[in-house]
Amino acid sequence: MSFAAARVIERVDWSEGLFSLTLDAEVEPYAPGQFFNLAVAIEGVRVKRAYSVVSTKDRPPEFYIVAIPGGKVSPVLDRLRVGDSLELDPRPHGFFVASEVPEARDLWMVASGTGLGPYIAMLREGSVFLRHEAIVLVHSVRTSAHLGYRRELEDIADARPAFHYLPTLTREHGATHLHGRVDAIVANGELERAAGLPIDAAHSHVMVCGNPAMLDSVKKALEERGLKKHRRRDPGQLSTETYW
């Protein structure tokens, strides 16, 4: 794996320990939803972690990151400011991309935390709006302070009637948000009522990106609704990506 020098040219802090970094770095062409390996030196040793790119290929690479308590790399990244350096492997990786999604009338994008990142890139690039009649983005976080990119997503929803932005909070109630775990609001139908769309195997494809516990519980809830995992040789209605 070959790493190259990168430099922070922009930093956005969404809340404590939740931030975005934009880098001055040369990267190979990538598809929205793919990821790159970022690396920092810790006690003289290069340590890397994978982060999905949030930007489109015509912009400098941008990453949405949460500092994990006790983690090795993310707390170091959290200390970086504009002008600071790190390393990046310029090769993109991953298959959690819109082109791998089969034809479907409705596309559901379900994320927890920074699992939102791949969807931001897809929405910015825009081709998903040409392939699907309706797109629903569900972003599950603990409190409203953790709703990164909220204003941008609200602006997209205002500009595109076919796009529905549904933030859901697990530790906070509010009139403008859903409340509860994603698997629970799938099971009780609240998510579909909020979107005004059904989730069904005939018309829907659901992408799920986030922590393993959320991913497993939502996958189980959707499988109980008749959806199955999508594979190239065995098409289904459910695509997943584990992401912290």
Same-domain pairing of 72 and 116: no
Is the same domain home to 235 and 138? yes
How many domains does the chain divide into? 2
Contacts of 33 (CB under 8 A, 6+ apart): 52, 94, 96, 97, 98, 118, 119, 121, 122
The whole-number average pLDDT for the span 117-129 is 97
Model pLDDT, residue 173: 87
pLDDT tens for residues 65-121? 999 999 999 999 999 999 999 999 999 999 999 999 999 999 999 999 999 999 999
Taking only the tens place, the pLDDT of each residue in 201-242 is 999 999 999 999 999 999 999 999 899 999 989 999 999 999
Strand bridging mode 134-141 / 62-66: unpaired
Same domain? For 78 and 119 the reply is: no
Q: Which of 61, 88, 115 is the last residue of a domain?
A: 88
Establish if 165 belongs to a structural domain.
yes
- 147-195: per-residue pLDDT in tens? 999 999 999 999 999 999 999 999 988 778 899 999 999 989 999 999 9
Q: Which of 179, 211, 210 is nearest to 111 (CA)?
A: 210
pLDDT at 175: 76
Give the containing element (helix H, strand E) for 216.
helix 212-223
Q: Which of 88, 123, 140 is the last residue of a domain?
A: 88
Q: What is the mean pLDDT of residues 49-69?
A: 96
Q: How confident is the model at residue 244 (pLDDT cuts 50, 70, 90)?
A: low
> Cα(130)–Cα(8) distance, rounded to whole angstroms?
33
The kind and range of the H/E element at 169 are: strand 163-169
Which of the listed residues 88, 114, 144 is the one where a domain comes to its end?
Answer: 88
Instruction: Indicate if 45 and 153 belong to the same structural domain.
Output: no
Residues 160 and 77 both lie in one domain: no
Question: Do 118 and 27 belong to one domain?
Answer: no
Domain enclosing residue 186, as ranges: 98-242
Mean pLDDT to the nearest integer, 18-44: 96
H/E stretch holding 222 reads helix 212-223
Q: What is the CATH number of the domain that holds 162?
A: 3.40.50.80
Shared domain check, 141 and 110? yes
Is residue 15 included in any domain, yes or no? yes
Alpha carbon distance 4, 26 (integer Å): 8
Instruction: Return the pLDDT at 174.
Output: 78
Indicate whether 221 belongs to any domain. yes
Residues 123 and 206 in one domain: yes
Cα-based angle 206, 211, 217 (whole degrees, multiple of 5): 60
Task: State what percent of residues in the chain have pLDDT above 70.
Answer: 99
| CA nearest neighbour of 123 among 1, 244, 207 | 207
pLDDT of residue 220: 93
Q: CATH code at 67?
A: 2.40.30.10
User: Does the residue 184 lie in any domain?
Assistant: yes
Are residues 160 and 186 located together in one domain of the fold?
Answer: yes
